């Protein structure tokens, strides 16, 4: 039912945002202004990225802590595993669970350039899912209220290291069988890339929710950087339009948010159960995309009432 196609569905849509741990005092101030703006929209959770090989372990955990202590937001902690040993990764999973985190996005991360992995190290996201489930089992007495929710990455366009989109879906199915509860997609630029993924995945037996990851397409520099990092080719028509808008910031903003909202609308029409917005730690463009959408959201208490309930 979750992905049943519909163009007029009024079922509530889950909403989440991605944040990354700040690298400086100034970046932290911007991030916290963003967090306060996003909090007012009452998302279901906010995700916190994690550097490859745990490069930002401390700042990631610090951000998770502050979200838990100082906001009404529920963190989904990203965790990368490639090259880490089971002992190291169990320790981080336990650190997260000790902090009250009950949602982890299990990722591989980037493999080391020389491709060398230490003996016994984890190789794939699937290995991390299985490790998290083992840690959870050892601590099962604590989870009377429900298990840890595990999210994974899914790819509307072929993962750069994968031989085919079919292989990507087989990997997604393997991640589901190992215990993944939901998936968030990589950035994509054409609506049919999301609906194509859903179609391939459902046909292969993937039943978990597939949440489209939507990037506010308001910065050409950011789009090009992301394309280089992720191997996803940007839409050349969009790139030309953004380039033609040049220094006209308002026009760039209009073109970019309109394009992102169109992707989100098409995904919802294809039955997407939620939206995950890549914020790049800035709220304005993400909230402009949302404002264009008029999402059906569940009726919830005001921010003040939510704060009172948690104090
Ligand atoms: P996997 O699912 O392990 O797949 C990696 C590659 O291995 C694929 O080509 C796959 O086909 C292949 N593969 C997987 N399992 C098998 C198997 N059993 N047998 C054969 N081949 C297999 N990166 C970060 O460093 N930090 C982050 O916080 C972060 N957040 C992200 C959030 C989202 C929503 C997404 C989509 C990506 C994120 N990434 C992040 C990037 C991610 O780490 C990369 O895309 C990475 O290259 C693959 O990660 P994965 O979890 O999909 O890996």
pLDDT digits (tens, 9 = 90+) for 195-225: 999 999 999 999 999 999 999 999 999 999 9
Closest CA relative to residue 110, chosen from 177, 55, 166 = 55
Residues in the chain: 311
174 pLDDT tier (thresholds 50, 70, 90): very high
Q: How far is CA 173 from CA 124, 166, 176, 230, 307, in A?
A: 14, 11, 5, 21, 39
Q: Quick check: 38 pLDDT over 50?
A: yes
Quote the ipTM score: 0.99
**Which sequence positions are flagged as catalytic?**
18
Q: Are 269 and 293 in contact (CB under 8 A)?
A: no
| 110-130 residue pLDDT tens | 998 888 999 999 999 999 999
Closest CA relative to residue 14, chosen from 265, 189, 272 = 272
pLDDT (mean) for 162-190: 98
| 217-275 residue pLDDT tens | 999 999 999 999 999 999 999 999 999 999 999 999 999 999 999 999 999 999 999 99
Phi, psi for residue 109 in degrees, rounded to 5: 85, 180
- CA–chain centroid gap for 310, Å, is 25
Q: How far is CA 309 from CA 15, 241, 304, in A?
A: 21, 47, 9
Cα–Cα distance measured from residue 218 to residue 223, given in angstroms and rounded to the nearest whole number? 8
259, 261, 263, 268 alpha-carbon torsion, rounded to 10°: -170
For residue 141, the SS3 value is helix
* Bridging pattern class, strands 274-278 and 210-211: unpaired
pTM of the model: 0.95
What residues are in contact with ligand 1 under a 6 Å CB criterion? 49-50, 52, 78, 80, 105, 107-110, 124-126, 153, 159, 161-162, 167-168, 171, 174, 184, 186, 213
Closest CA relative to residue 208, chosen from 261, 149, 167, 264 = 149
Query: Ligand 1 centroid to 109 CA: how many Å?
Result: 6
Pocket test for ligand 1, best of 171, 187, 204, 281 (most atoms within 8 A of CB): 171
pLDDT on residue 298: 82
Cα–Cα distance measured from residue 285 to residue 215, given in angstroms and rounded to the nearest whole number? 9
CA of 152, closest atom in ligand 1 = 51
Strand partners, 154: 185
| 133-165 residue pLDDT tens | 999 998 887 766 568 999 999 999 999 999 999
Q: Which two tokens stand for residue 44?
A: 């279901």
| 45-102 residue pLDDT tens | 999 999 988 889 999 999 999 999 999 999 999 999 999 999 999 999 999 999 999 9
Pocket test for ligand 1, best of 109, 182, 227, 228 (most atoms within 8 A of CB): 109
Q: Quick check: 181 pLDDT over 90?
A: yes
Query: Ligand 1 centroid to 81 CA: how many Å?
Result: 10
Closest CA relative to residue 275, chosen from 258, 290, 255 = 290
What interhelical angle do 86-98 and 57-70 show, nearest 10?
20
Q: Quick check: 3 pLDDT over 60?
A: no
Q: Are 177 and 146 in contact (CB under 8 A)?
A: no
Q: How crowded is residue 43: how many other Cβ atoms within 10 Å of its Cβ?
A: 22
CA of 107, closest atom in ligand 1 = 51
Q: How crowded is residue 305: how many other Cβ atoms within 10 Å of its Cβ?
A: 11
pLDDT (mean) for 4-33: 86
Query: Ligand 1 centroid to 78 CA: how many Å?
Result: 12
Q: Quick check: 1 pLDDT over 90?
A: no
Cα–Cα distance measured from residue 294 to residue 172, given in angstroms and rounded to the nearest whole number? 31
CA of 187, closest atom in ligand 1 = 36
Query: Ligand 1 centroid to 212 CA: how many Å?
Result: 16
| Residue 207 exposure: Cα atoms within 13 Å on the Cβ side | 4
Cα–Cα distance measured from residue 135 to residue 138, given in angstroms and rounded to the nearest whole number? 5
First to last CA, the chain: 37
Pocket test for ligand 1, best of 48, 64, 107 (most atoms within 8 A of CB): 107
CA of 167, closest atom in ligand 1 = 11
Q: Which run of H or of E encompasses 213?
A: strand 213-214
């Amino acid at each position: 039912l979750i992905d049943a196609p519909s163009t007029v569905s009024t079922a509530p849509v889950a909403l989440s945002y991605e944040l990354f741990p700040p690298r400086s005092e100034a970046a932290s101030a911007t991030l916290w202004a963003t967090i306060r703006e996003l909090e007012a929209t009452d998302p279901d959770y906010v995700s916190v990225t994690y550097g490859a090989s745990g490069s930002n372990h401390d700042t990631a955990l610090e951000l998770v802590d502050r979200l838990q202590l100082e906001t009404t937001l529920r963190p989904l902690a990203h965790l990368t595993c490639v090259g880490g040993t089971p002992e190291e990764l169990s320790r981080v999973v336990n650190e997260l669970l000790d902090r009250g985190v009950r949602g982890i996005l299990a990722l591989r991360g980037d493999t080391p350039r020389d491709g060398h992995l230490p003996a016994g190290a984890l190789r794939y996201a699937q290995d991390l899912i299985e490790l998290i489930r083992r840690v959870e089992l050892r601590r099962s007495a604590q989870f009377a209220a429900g298990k840890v929710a595990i999210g994974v990455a899914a790819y509307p366009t072929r993962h750069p290291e994968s031989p085919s989109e079919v292989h990507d879906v087989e990997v997604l199915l393997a991640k589901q069988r190992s215990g993944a509860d939901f998936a968030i997609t990589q950035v994509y630029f054409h609506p049919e890339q999301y609906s194509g993924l859903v179609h391939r995945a459902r046909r292969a037996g993937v039943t978990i929710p597939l949440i489209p990851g939507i990037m506010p397409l308001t910065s050409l520099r950011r789009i090009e950087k992301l394309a280089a990092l992720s191997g996803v080719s940007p839409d050349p028509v969009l790139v030309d339009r953004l380039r033609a808008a040049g220094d006209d910031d308002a026009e760039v903003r209009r073109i970019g948010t309109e394009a992102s909202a169109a992707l989100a609308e098409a995904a919802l029409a294809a039955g997407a159960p939620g939206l995950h917005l890549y914020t790049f730690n800035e709220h304005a463009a993400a909230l402009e995309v949302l404002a264009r959408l008029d999402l059906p959201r569940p009726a919830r208490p005001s921010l003040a009432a939510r704060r009172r309930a948690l104090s």
